[in-house]
Chain A
Amino acid sequence: MNEIELLEAVQRTVSRRMFIKGVIAAGAATSSVGYLFRGPAAVFALPSIQGSVGRLVTLNVNGQQRRVDVLPQETLAMTLRYKLGLTGTKLGCDRAECGACTVLVDGTNHYSCSMLTRSAVGREITTIEGLESEDGTLHPVQQAVVDEGGFQCAFCAPGFIMSMVALVEANPNPTREETAQALSGNLCRCGDYDKILTSAMRAAEYARREA
């Protein structure tokens, strides 16, 4: 099986499994099934449960090669949060509705809750933890947010910041309107959009200065 076939096989089994779960949840309506987390313990201590077979893959996360045991149905958000200890990536909905889980994959912003970890193999993954430089200097986008006093509860912040990073790289000179468009896949329930936009505009300014 080549990579692509493997990926398709993975996606087929997952959607089938999720479909069955969905039917059970809707039909009997007794279970609170969301996207579920199968923890590392299952892999390491109880590999035989459910017949799931773990498999080691190498992920390129924040510039490091990380070997990690990943199940076929595992989402990138879960791998980052529960296998790699990168809890800066948040889960607001786990279903592509809010953007709290946004990470960069090959420089493009993606909902990590809705991407299978295995489909990120061989690609460059950047999370909020990967933005600072080695010496602890904040990324221009992070610095811009700090300088503008951005965000309220900030649960949406890691996701927004990753989208801002993707934006300033793709469009170093965005208008406020383009910025809003670029960030429209992220939801801020505190409604801090005004400061978010102002922070993003300043971020673009900082990034231009650095470039």
Chain B
Amino acid sequence: MAEKTIGRDIAPPDLVAKVTGRAKYAEDFRAEGMVFAKLLASPMPHARVRSIDTSEALAMDGVFGVLTADEVPQPGAPNEPALTNEPLYEGEAILAVAAIDETTAADAIEKIRMDLEPLPFVLDPLDSLRPDGPNARLDGNTRIGREVQTIKWSEEDFAAAADGHMPVGQPGDEWSYGDVDAAFDAADLVLDETIVHQSLTHHPLESRSCMAYWQNGKLFIHGSTQSTARTRAAIARGLGLELHDVVLIAEYCGGGFGSKISGSTIMQVPALLSRKIGRPVMLRITRAEETYLGRARPGFQAKAKIGYRADGRVVAMELFIVQDNGPYGRSGDFRTAADMASLTYQVPAMRFGGVSVYTNTPPKSAQRAPGGGQITSMLEPIMDKAARELGIDRVALRHINVPDNDGVFGPRRRGLTSAYVREALDRGVELFGWEERAARSGQRHGSMVTGIGIGVSSFVGGSSGFDGLLMIREDGKLYVHQGIGNLGTHSIADTARAAADVLGMPWDRVEIVWGDTSRHLPWSAVQAGSQTTHAHTRANHAAAMDAKRKLQEIAAGDLGGSPGDYETGDGRVYRRNDRDTGMTFARAARRATQLGGKYSGEELPEDINAMTVTSAQALAGEGLMGVAKDTYPHEGSTFSFVVGFAEVEVDFETGHVVVKDYTAVTDCGTVLHPRSLAAQLYGGGVQGMGMARSQRWVFDPQWGVSFAKRLYTARPPGILDVPLEMKWAAVGIPDPQTPVGAKGIGEPPLGAGAAAITSAIADALGGRCLCRTPLTADMILAAVEGREQPYGPLETHV
């Protein structure tokens, strides 16, 4: 029997392509006759196009055509079109020009005469809530239910803002549970803090460049996207095409972090330009364009009022969040943030209110741990402050509050599948050396002061109900078809291990089929929200169980006995008590093809998705098919947890922070692939450190244009900004509600890394929580020197 693949370090099968340069990302494809497109971007944060004259541009040699907003689908308000006649942020695409090369396209853009009427704009959500404040959109400043509406607060509502406290007015969303007021009255300590968490852009290293062409009425599109099956669906839906008329090729994705869950909006531009001019079109997105089009995490301005019992137990919480929504859609981060706070601290009585306000800033979307990242990095230093005031250990305060298997969360008090946060805390205390390090907190040598931080982070760890599809072919190999995406988490390969282990298949005889929708992929989860590890170990497990049953039946039919007498392993199906009686998978695949029916995929289960049906029909008759929808029980909500510990040194003369050490311990159920798990824990942690220390948007308040449009102006951490060595561990207790026991782990590492840093910096400052991200050197220095902060307490985008 082949060694189990789950739990082992096995390099993903695409790694050689990645290290040799053979891995092709979207901008690496070429097509015969390919031309280039450039975008004309809005110079204003809010304007209306009065007129466009493209005649001079179109008359130029080498210019093939222009695509305007009138020629792309305009989804109803407040949703985002690919091109617009009413730009709602600086940098928004108004039109695109296709030309023989980019220089010509850019020259053509300069020859376009455009009359823009400037409209009122707003950057700070609180400004839009002011009684006479501007709205970012002509139809309102927030969305409630499905409607765009306007919420304005009164001058009295804003009274608190005068002395720097978070004002609270009419919410767009609210809920509560428990007797919150009584719980606050009974509390031994109440902290009431104002929080500003600034918006930051995603900055995947690969911008969303895209190349598209049409053949025989079919759209072929090479894009940069996190997902595959679901991205094709989004492209088809967006353009009003049939699913089978879209072929998406996206085998590699140079990072997304939530910004390219489908990323399909801007793909419409090369797709439609190509159809219009009858040539393949490449749209290269520059770094500056990526900063604008590439999504951002919604910012929060918030009030957090927390009541504690003397032993550190949280007894009541009130959260009020004003969210910077950007101009389109409706971000759910603020609601998720409240759920995560309710979960992480098992808050017995809680009130949440919030409003997501439209602003003329680049569009927002999920960014790794959406909502969770913001609230974790903001609340953890407040928990530290409570521990200081109550005179208890900071770990002890977490210990008493975090959830276990009986945990519940949110207004509906929903239950969990599993939670081993205490185990993670205990493990982390040991691995990090908490006792010893905590004793160093506040120590000064030269100008450097030590701070020790801790961050407990929770996030959703998986969905269920998707399809698995695999083939055992006549070459005896197992082909696992994956509709999820390949964005670097390695889950594209790691989730296939569930199938390999069910069948006892050696890993070197497993092929992953992915990244090209013409290769017959099953209906799958989006590659986002830490879903795929959970969802697709389940789906692949289900499909492998189906294949195993079929192998057993074929063997019993040909070799006698009953199916239950047979086992599979090492590419054979054999009699349990007589290993020599059996057949190879290669032979079983041939038999399946001969037998037809369910064995070869001519007959399919009724409950699988239509996309899986189409793919399975195309594969039918080519061997033995395993195909199933994941119907395994899934009671309760699946969450994963990460506890991060950091040691920093803050230079009291410059405000510079050095991260000396970082340790992350997770409860994410069964460990599929230790090294990739470590990469998620560290990589997410490092991204969190960037969020805590340096990344944000900065706008010129007078003109509404961005100052932070490149990598160096909102810089993600470099290799010298992170510790030379870090540590990690996993609790490793399987989740009981999924057959493989594995939960997703993409998101919660971010909050843990960010919070460990905000907590450690506050610790170095003697427990002073600046309650703001990012914590830049000038802010830290002002705090150290007791000077007024360079920005107003509620100010954002600074």
Contact = CB atoms under 8 A, between A and B. Distances in A.
A binds B: yes
Interface of A: 21, 24, 28-39, 41-42, 45-46, 48-50, 81, 85-95, 97-98, 100, 127-129, 131-132, 138, 142, 145-158, 161, 176-177, 180-181, 183-184, 186-197
State the majority secondary structure of interface residues on A: loop
Interface of B: 9-12, 15-16, 18-25, 27-28, 30, 35-36, 38-41, 43, 61-62, 100-104, 106-107, 109-110, 112, 114, 203-207, 252-255, 257, 284, 286-289, 487-490, 675-676, 678-679, 682-687, 690, 705, 710-712, 716-720, 722, 724-726
A190 B683 contact: yes
Contacts of B288: 32, 34
Contacts of A161: 19
Given A153-B204, A153-B253, A195-B679, A87 B106 contact: no
A181 to B, nearest CB: 7
Contacts of A193: 682, 686, 719, 722
Tell me which of A39, A46, A85 has the highest count of chain B C-beta atoms within 10 A of its own C-beta. Answer: A39
Contacts of A88: 20-22
B57 to A, nearest CB: 11
B286 A194 contact: no
Given A37-B103, A45-B100, A93 B724 contact: no
A49 B253 contact: no
B710 A155 contact: no
B438 to A, nearest CB: 24
Given A146-B15, A194-B725, A30 B41 contact: yes
Contacts of B28: 81, 87
A181 B720 contact: yes
Given A154-B18, A154-B19, 19 more contacts: A29-B43, A31-B38, A41-B100, A49-B104, A81-B28, A89-B21, A90-B206, A92-B287, A95-B287, A97-B711, A128-B20, A149-B11, A152-B683, A177-B724, A184-B718, A184-B720, A190-B679, A193-B682, A195-B675
Contact of B682 (A36, A85, A186, A191): A191
Tell me which of A29, A48, A161 has the highest count of chain B C-beta atoms within 10 A of its own C-beta. Answer: A29
B675 A149 contact: yes
B203 A189 contact: yes
A100 B24 CA distance: 14
Contacts of B15: 145-146, 149-151, 154
A191 B680 CA distance: 9
Contact of A86 (B9, B11, B21, B719): B21
19 contacts: A28-B43, A32-B286, A37-B102, A37-B103, A38-B101, A38-B103, A81-B28, A95-B710, A132-B20, A138-B19, A142-B20, A149-B676, A153-B253, A153-B488, A189-B205, A191-B687, A193-B722, A195-B678, A197-B719
Contact of A32 (B38, B112, B253, B675): B38
A92 B205 contact: yes
A49 B62 CA distance: 8
B679 A192 contact: yes
A184 B100 contact: no
Closest 6 CB pairs of A and B: A88-B21, A191-B686, A155-B254, A153-B488, A152-B488, A29-B43
B698 to A, nearest CB: 17
A153 B687 contact: no
A91 B61 CA distance: 28
A189 B487 CA distance: 12
B102 A138 contact: no
